[in-house]
Structure 1
Amino acid sequence: MKKILFLSLFLFASATYAQDKKEQALLNAVEKLKEAMVSGDRQALESIADADLNYGHSSGKVEDKETFVETIASGKSDFVTIELKNQTYKITGKTAIVRHQLHAKTNDGGKPGEVHLGIMLVWIKQGKDWKLLARQAYKLP
């Protein structure tokens, strides 16, 4: 009986640790995306985005990976700061959905501004890495 109980606890602890590790890797990817968007680091942006990225703006405009990277890296879309609030996530197999509010100071075209958006991100697991597959933004009231 003690062996069964120990084995059950070991399996539960192992499954919990594995899930926590997967969740932490996802949350780290979200943070890397945020940092890359603020820094405009082309290599970081390219490495976090999936080749088939579908990046939707609150205006309805949709960009592919190449356009998303170029827009941020060139400074055309310039995030000075980004704060994420009320983040939730759900991992199902090798797919994850992350939702949060994004509050940012911008400097697009040298014009200071602010954005307040609701965001939904779709991530896919590729090997050990989470890659951004899709993003959709909407304006917060």
Structure 2
Amino acid sequence: MKALCLFGFLLLLIPAFTTAQNLGSNTSKQEVLDAQSARITAMLNADLGKLDELLTEDLSYAHTNGWTETKSGYLETIRSGKIDYVSFVPKVVEVRVYDDSAVLTGKVDVNLGRTDFSIRFLEVQRKVDGVWKLTAWQSVLNKVD
């Protein structure tokens, strides 16, 4: 009888633990989205100091044309104005968090002043010393919708 009561009590606790896990997951997802937003703002403003803080040292940044850059190359591209983003607006972003890593997928509307287009992206962030940082970016032109 005691075992049955204990089992019943433990069953009552399951929703509480599930809710706590979901809240933590939603908090982590929001932190990842906040880091993405901060990085995009820094990119649009060519804030190299902030960008440097939000990128991992082993960054791999692949543009829609296949051109791939390291962290130093990407920062130089932004510094030089080789790519000068007027706007970069994420749409329909999905976030999946796995411990200290996160995978984001979605669509972005991009405006470079002389041209605008839509891309699909895969983004990987890693939590380093409590800060979510971009570690990989891959994008392709969105010609479907």
Q: Which consecutive unaligned segments of at least 5 residues does structure 2 have?
A: none
1:1-141 equivalence runs, <5 A? 4=10, 7-107=13-113, 112-141=114-143
- Residue 32 (structure 1) shift: 1.1
**Which structure has the greater CA radius of gyration?**
2
Say which SS state the counterpart of residue 79 (structure 1) adopts. coil
CA contact (8 A) 1:122 1:135 kept: yes
Structure 1 unaligned regions, length at least 5: none
Alignment identity in percent?
24
Secondary structure of 1:67's counterpart equals helix
Letter of the aligned partner of 2:61 in structure 1? Y
Rounded to whole Å, the distance in 1 between the matches of 2:62 and 2:134 is 12
Inter-partner Cα distance in structure 1 for 2:120 and 2:14? 41
State the Cα RMSD in Å.
1.8
Q: Which runs of 4+ in 1 moved over 4 A?
A: 1-7
Supply the AA of the counterpart residue of 1:102.
V
Scaled by the length of structure 1, what TM-score is found?
0.86
- Does the Cα contact within 8 Å between 2:25 and 2:97 map onto a contact in 1? no
Compute the TM-score of the two structures, normalised by the length of structure 2.
0.84
Cα-to-partner distance string for 1:13-52 (whole Å, 9 max, x where unaligned):
3322221221111111111121112111111111111000
> How many positions carry a matched residue from both structures?
137
8 Å contact 2:78–2:84 — kept in the other structure?
A: yes
Distance 2:22 2:124 in 1: 23
- Supply the distance in 2 between the matched residues of 1:25 and 1:119 (Cα, whole angstroms): 19
Q: Report the structure, 1 or 2, having the larger strand content.
A: 1
